Every structure is written in structure tokens, then in C-alpha cells.
Amino acid sequence: MLANSAELFKFTRLTLIWLTIIFGSVWGACFVVGVLIPTLLLHLGENEIFALLAQICQYLTPVIAILVFIPINAMFMVLVERRGLALFTVRMGPNRVGPDGLLQTAADAVKLLFKEDIIPTGADAWLFTLAPIIFFAPSIFGSIPLLAAITGNNDLFAITNLPTGIFFIIAASSVPVVGIVMGGWASNNKYSLVGGLRSAAQAISYEIPLVLSLVTICYLNQSLNVVEIASRQTGGFLNWNIFGGGALNGLDKYFNALINGSSNANDILQAYYPSNQWILTVIAIAGLVVSTIIAFFMYITAACAEVNRIPFDLPEAESELVSGYNTEYSGIKFAIFFLAEFTNLFIVSSIATIMFLGAGNNPIPQFLIDYLFKNVTFIPQTINAITQALSPLINQIHLINPITFWSVVWMIVKTYSLVFFAVLVRGTLPRFKIDQLMDFGWKRLIPLSLLVFFIVIFAKGVINTNV
């Protein structure tokens, strides 16, 4: 127990160091490309060419952020998975390269890049090379609409705020399976081909409940814009989409009024939940909350299947198919497959955070903050004093936008919690058989997702939720 506690401390320390490296690198790249270079160009003169170049740099900032983030984050997630699985099974995990194994995955990445690139005899060289690119490309362009929601719609990322952002993301998420099937067929290997065909069947089966769970939340918010969906979950966990996307907003306002000593607390409750319809209203609210919680877990389940995570890793299934669709891949091509898998896990976790868990909004309701600090005033006063003292410096050098900073912090906490949950599932559950996987998708998840969608439509109509 004591040894495992020491490993947990090391794991926490490695996580904080890697997160600092990741987001420090991303922030530095965005600051240089989006702020520093445009400022220098504009100071060189009022020439239209300089202004155009400055504008191009600002437009390129989201792309630079993704290109810097994806490889470093993938190395971190591999380390999290290996050390996390070691914790769950009371082992040491990688701890030789760098302090406590800090640089193990970086060394693995360098090793993969320098390995020989082999194309099997009889393989279709063109499709064999194209497959990992098709598998990885959606990880880049599919995550672009998320940047605006993650950063609190920061000016540098406002260009990524698409009116139909979630539709764009869903469309992009359907492309990687083409790369898997292509790689399996082009490898001229029966195990790879079976893995590719399994992936196609699995994607068709689980994409339906995944999309229906997201469509349910879009209907709840009457929007396809991820920034708008995120903004409607402000105010704490009672306003998260997982709790009906505002169905409990009346309780939130009621508790705020009570804590602040307002005399119209009961009037607020009556306005949201009329007493003459309270039975039907309570039933509708309960149905909406339960349905959205079920939709959340359906999304998590279907997303694990879409990104081939255990217990849905039938396309790889080492005990049956050696390594499935990527059996014949080596070197940088294998690294691209590996990179895309962990990036896709992060993306589906980010989508879950934005659509269900309040995105980058503070999860603590205001009434709880008011209650906690009601008699302890020196804490908020100290925070306000520090903020006021630093605000001139922040505004002068455009170092950090406080809204963006806290939005990213909460996104990190929520998203990596879901990633860690996926690692826990891998260390806990056995793999499905192929018939069990297909039955679970078609006979359980799809009917349940349709039922949840219709319940949400009915419940929203009854309580007329203002979301």
C-alpha cells in the first residue's frame, strides 16, 4: 500500500510536469504567432502587406496550436496510460528514461521515427502509405471547431467558431474508419483485413447511438454551435447538459436568492415550477435529468467503440489478430496510427466535456461559492487584490486572457478525468466477443438512444426549458 502511494505521488508529479510542458508549449507558440509577430509587423509600418501578413499569422494560430499540441499530448497520454495501468495492477510502470520515467514516451517516439519503414510483399504500396494519413488527418481538421469552446471564444480562435460546429465534428469523425479499412486491405495480410472489416462493422453500429446522443443535446440547446452550447451551461453543475441543460436552473436561482437573503426566492421557484402543474413538472424534470445522464453514458460507450478502446478493441485484438489492421506497419506509419488513436481519445473526451459537462465553465454553482465565502471574506478579497494588481501587466503585454486561462484549466481537469476513466476501463474490463459487440450496439444502445431522444423532446416541451 505504501509503495503504491509513492507511485501515485510520482504519477501526479509526472502529470503536472507534462501538462505544464504541453500547455506552456501551446501557449508560447500561440503567443508568438498570434500576438508577437503581428505586433512586430504592424510596428514596421502601415503598409498593407504587413497588415495582411499580421492577419494571416492570426488566422494560422489555431492550426499552429493543434500542430504543437497533438504530438506532445499523445506522448503524455501514452505515459498516463502505462503508468495508470501500472497503478491499477500494483506495478512500477516505465521509470527508467528520465526522472521517474518522465521521458520514456519521448524516447519511444524517437525510436519509432528511426525504425525501418517496411512495405510487405504483395501490398498495395500507394494505399498502404495513404491509409495512416487518412486515419490521422481528421484528428487535425475535426478538432478545429472545439478550439473556440475550449478557449472561451478567445479572439485568436474566434475564426474556428462555426455555426454548425458539432455537425462538422461528426462528419470528420466518420473518416478514420476509411483509413483503417484501407490499411487492412492494402497490407495483403488476412489478420489486417479481418481487423479492417471489424472496424467498419463496429463504426457503423456505434456511430448511430453516438450521433443520437449528441443530437439529443443539440435539440436540448436548439443549436449546433459548440460555443453556444458551452455558454448555456454557465453557472455550475446544475446547468450542465448532463442535468437537463437548464432544467434545474430554477433551483440554481432559488438557492442563489436564499444565500443572498433575497425576499423573492419563493417567487423565483414558482416562476420556474408552477404549483398548479408541479406533479407533471417534477416528472418531466426527472425524466429529462435521467435521460441526459443516460445519453452521456451512451456517448462515452459509443465513443470508446469508435476509437477502438477496450472493451471495444476488436479491430486490433492482439490475442486473435496479432495487432489487427496495423500488423504490417512499422516506423513512422505505425507512429501515425498510434498518434491518431490517442488524439482521437482526447477529442472524444473534449466533445463529452463540451456537450455534457459544462465545457470550460466553473462547475461550482454561485450559491455554493457565496455560502462558503460568506463568513470567510479574506480569500475572495485576496484574489481580487491580486487580480487587480496584475491586470495592468496582463493587459499591457497580452500575456494571458483570464477568461481563456480559467476556461482551459477547467477543460484540462474535466477532459483528462475522462481520459483517466478510459484508462481505468482498460485495466478493468475484458474484451467483448464480436457477436456480443454487435448485439450490444444494435439491440441495446440504438433502441435506448431513440427512446432517450423522444423522452427529451417530450420533457422539454412540458417544462419549456429556457436553454
Q: What is the pLDDT of residue 293?
A: 92
The answer to whether residue 353 scores a pLDDT higher than 90 is yes
- Residue type at position 348: V
Residues 293-346: tens digit of each pLDDT: 999 999 999 988 888 887 877 766 666 666 677 788 888 888 888 888 888 889
Dig out the grid coordinates for 157 from the structure: 480562435
Answer whether 54's CB lies under 8 Å from 37's CB: yes
Find the mean pLDDT for residues 85-96.
Answer: 81
The answer to whether residue 463 scores a pLDDT higher than 80 is no
Q: What is the pLDDT of residue 381?
A: 62
Q: What is the pLDDT of residue 98?
A: 79
Residues 382-425: tens digit of each pLDDT: 666 666 665 665 554 455 677 778 888 899 999 999 998 888 88
Q: What is the pLDDT of residue 274?
A: 65
The answer to whether residue 169 scores a pLDDT higher than 70 is yes
Q: What is the pLDDT of residue 380?
A: 60
Answer whether 332's CB lies under 8 Å from 117's CB: yes
Average pLDDT in the chain: 81
Q: What's this model's pTM, rounded to 2 decimal places? A: 0.88
Dig out the grid coordinates for 282 from the structure: 417534477
> How far out from the chain centre does Cα 311 lie?
20
Which range is most confident: 144-148, 373-377, 434-438?
144-148
Please give the Cα distance from 270 to 278 (Å, whole number). Answer: 9
Dig out the grid coordinates for 139 from the structure: 484528428
Q: What residues contact 85, with CB distance under 8 A and at least 6 apart? A: 91, 93, 423, 426, 427
Please give the Cα distance from 337 to 173 (Å, whole number). Answer: 15
Residues 202-257: tens digit of each pLDDT: 888 888 899 999 999 998 888 888 988 988 888 788 888 888 877 777 777 777 77
- Residue type at position 25: S
Find the mean pLDDT for residues 158-176.
Answer: 86
Q: What residues contact 19, with CB distance under 8 A and at least 6 apart? A: 76, 412, 416
pLDDT tier, 465 (very low <50, low <70, confident <90, very high otherwise): very low
Q: What is the pLDDT of residue 418?
A: 92
Task: Compute the C-alpha angle 263/267/268, nearest 5°.
Answer: 100
Answer whether 248's CB lies under 8 Å from 289's CB: yes
- The alpha-helical segments, DSSP class H, found in 222-330 are 226-231, 249-259, 265-272, 278-306, 318-321
Number of helices (H), then strands (E), in the chain:
20, 0
Q: What is the pLDDT of residue 203?
A: 82
Find the mean pLDDT for residues 168-192.
Answer: 84
Instruction: Of 277, 281, 301, 286, give the one whose Cα is nearest residue 205.
Output: 301
Residues 6-48: tens digit of each pLDDT: 778 888 888 888 888 888 888 888 888 888 888 888 777 677 7
Q: What is the pLDDT of residue 332?
A: 84
- Residue type at position 285: I
Q: What is the pLDDT of residue 172?
A: 86
What is the number of alpha carbons within 13 Å of residue 82 lying toward its C-beta?
18
Dig out the grid coordinates for 40 from the structure: 512586430
Dig out the grid coordinates for 169 from the structure: 465534428
Instruction: Of 37, 22, 48, 104, give the one whose Cα is nearest residue 343.
Output: 22
Q: What is the pLDDT of residue 38?
A: 83
Dig out the grid coordinates for 195 from the structure: 481487423
Find the mean pLDDT for residues 432-454.
Answer: 87
Please give the Cα distance from 76 to 342 (Å, whole number). Answer: 10
Answer whether 257's CB lies under 8 Å from 264's CB: yes
Find the mean pLDDT for residues 115-121.
Answer: 81
Residues 53-67: tens digit of each pLDDT: 888 888 888 888 888
pLDDT tier, 466 (very low <50, low <70, confident <90, very high otherwise): very low
